[in-house]
Amino acid sequence: MTSRRHFIGKVSAGVAGTIATMAPAGQVLGANERIRFAIIGAGSRGQQLMREAIACANTEFAAVADVYQRRHEECRAFVPNAKMFFDYREMLEDRAIDAVIIATPQHLHCEHFVAALGAGKHVYQEKTMAFTVDHAKRMRLAYQRAGKVVQIGHQHCSSGHVTDARNILDAGLLGRITEVHAHMYRNTPHGKPQWSRPVFPDVNLDNVRWSLFLGESPQREFDANRFINWRFFWDYSGGNVYENMTHQVAFWYKVLNLKIPQAATMRGGVYHWKDGREVPDTMNVTLEQPEEMLFNWTSGFGNSHLGSSEEILGTDGTISKHRQVRYTPEKVNRPQGSEISGSGSSGERHMQNFADCVRSGKEPNCPFEVGYRASIACRMAVDSYLQGRTVRWDEKREAIV
């Protein structure tokens, strides 16, 4: 049997022949054809996406791949006819599967994305799309070769807020934009740390395929806490930058068509939850955009008063996005201007949009390019934090320096 590392090397290099054989470029389903879904990574978020997929008309769930036995049992409760796999590679051999949802820990996104496209599947890729710049480049190559529909899981890109914000921008009501000001704050009861998950007794080597979880990350002895609470550790996670900043970045990178930042600076620390986590619980990020504006983002897990919102600051007005998109004029420049409230719903039909595009071949609401730029911005922020300095983007080399 082909070794795992040999397999990763093959798909990373791009086996064009396999792609050409299994996935003719541009091939899409007919308008009324049934979509057979599968998933790699069926934790809590993965199961939510599964439910969204089967709620779409004329779909079925054919297979589940997860390295933890408990997830198989949980999924059987609502997709009893789906086949269960520990090793995603065995699942991808099924040519009848049309589309694969990838909801694994962030360090595994590249491996699973490249393999799924190489097997001729359309892909719904959970955020943050790429864990590192190298992963982003490998994923881009696989995407360009495959000719398949790829939706990145920034679900706000499928909300009515996109249309509302664009209508205000297209009307020229903001003037010169100099800053995007965003924040995301949460709180939890004492003794219940943000993101902490219980480590059940069955989290052991009998029920977990540890080597498949580690992937290309540093090799370690089995650690049940690292497996369950992977979001705490830099080997597998980009922390809250990859969990929440990425959504706010992706939305405005799409709406404003922003490029990869010229520079990024991140500061913060583990100020509240002293539970062994490596990623900060309080942080500040500044992205210096080539469009001559700042994207500022702050976040913390010790107070929820500020909640989550974004403000786009222009010389002639402000767009505020929370549960609704609102416009407020700057009276100094638009004395006759009036406030505007958006009419679009904050609800998303992101999975439905993906299914529609699988059938039509059209570009989805959050295409690969938006996910690519957002993931590079997030990696720059994390690298700044880890290195304790401002980092910059070398556009010619496509590298963080």
pLDDT at 13: 40
> Residue ranges per domain, the chain?
4-156+353-367, 162-194+234-346+377-400
The pLDDT-based confidence of 1 (bands split at 50, 70, 90) is very low
Q: How confident is the model at residue 187 (pLDDT cuts 50, 70, 90)?
A: very high
pLDDT, residue 133, reads 98
Pairing of strands 122-125, 399-400: unpaired
Nearest alpha carbon to residue 99 among 142, 40, 21, 47: 40
pLDDT of residue 17: 35
The model's confidence at residue 113, banded by pLDDT at 50, 70 and 90, is very high
Task: Provide the pLDDT for residue 346.
Answer: 74
pLDDT of residue 198: 96
Confidence label for 27 from pLDDT (cuts 50, 70 and 90): low
How large is the average pLDDT for residues 223-237?
A: 98
Q: Do domains 4-156+353-367 and 162-194+234-346+377-400 have the same CATH topology?
A: no
Helix (H, G, I), strand (E, B) or coil at 208: strand
Sheet with 282-289: list strands edge to edge.
340-341, 325-329, 317-321, 308-314, 177-185, 293-300, 282-289, 263-269, 391-394, 399-400
Give the up-direction half-sphere exposure of residue 220: CA atoms within 13 A in the CB hemisphere. 14
Region 44-50: mean pLDDT is 98
Decide if pLDDT at 297 tops 70: yes
Task: Give the model confidence (pLDDT) of 356-383 as tens digits.
Answer: 999 999 999 999 999 999 999 999 999 9
Within 258-339, strands assigned E span 263-269, 282-289, 293-300, 308-314, 317-321, 325-329
pLDDT at position 299 is 98
Mean pLDDT over all residues of the chain? 93
Is the separation of the CB atoms in 268 and 286 below 8 Å?
Answer: no
For 233-266, letters b (16+ CB in 10 Å) and e give: bebbbbbbbbbbbbbbbbbbbbbbebebbbbbbb
Question: What's residue 345's pLDDT?
Answer: 81
pLDDT tens track for 53-108: 999 999 999 999 999 999 999 999 999 999 999 999 999 999 999 999 999 999 99
Tell whether the model's pLDDT for residue 223 goes beyond 80: yes
In the chain, the largest separation of any two C-alpha atoms, in whole Å, equals: 73
Tokens, residue 100: 């694969």
Please give the structure tokens belonging to residue 179.
């800053």
* pLDDT for residue 10 is more than 50: no
Q: Give the per-residue pLDDT at 53.
A: 98
CATH of the domain spanning 162-194+234-346+377-400, picked from 2.70.70.10, 1.10.260.40, 3.30.360.10, 3.40.50.720: 3.30.360.10
* pTM, entire model: 0.92
Q: Looking at residue 36, what is its pLDDT?
A: 98
- pLDDT for residue 76: 98
Tokens of 350: 């992101």
What angle, rounded to 10 degrees, do the helices at 246-256 and 368-387 form? 130
d(CA 182, CA 297): 5
Contact 151, 366 (CB under 8 A): yes
Q: What is the reported pLDDT for 28?
A: 60
pLDDT at 31: 64
Q: Give mean pLDDT, residues 121-127.
A: 98
Is a pLDDT exceeding 90 seen at residue 289?
Answer: yes
Integer Cα distance of 373 and 46 in angstroms: 23
Q: Which CATH superfamily is domain 4-156+353-367 in?
A: NAD(P)-binding Rossmann-like Domain (3.40.50.720)
Instruction: For residue 344, give both structure tokens.
Output: 């679009």
The larger pLDDT score, comparing residue 175 to residue 25, is at 175
Residue 16 has pLDDT above 50, yes or no: no
- What's residue 7's pLDDT? 38
| Residue percentage of the chain with pLDDT more than 70 | 92
Q: What is the pLDDT of residues 384-395, one digit of tens each?
A: 999 999 999 999
Q: Say which residues have a Cβ less than 8 Å from residue 10's Cβ, sequence separation at least 6.
A: none
Residue 6 clears pLDDT 50, i.e. is over it:
no
Kindly report, residue by residue over 143-160, the tens digit of the pLDDT: 999 999 999 999 999 999
* Lowest mean pLDDT segment, chosen from 11-20, 244-253, 297-306: 11-20
* Alpha helices, DSSP H, located in 56-100: 69-76, 88-92
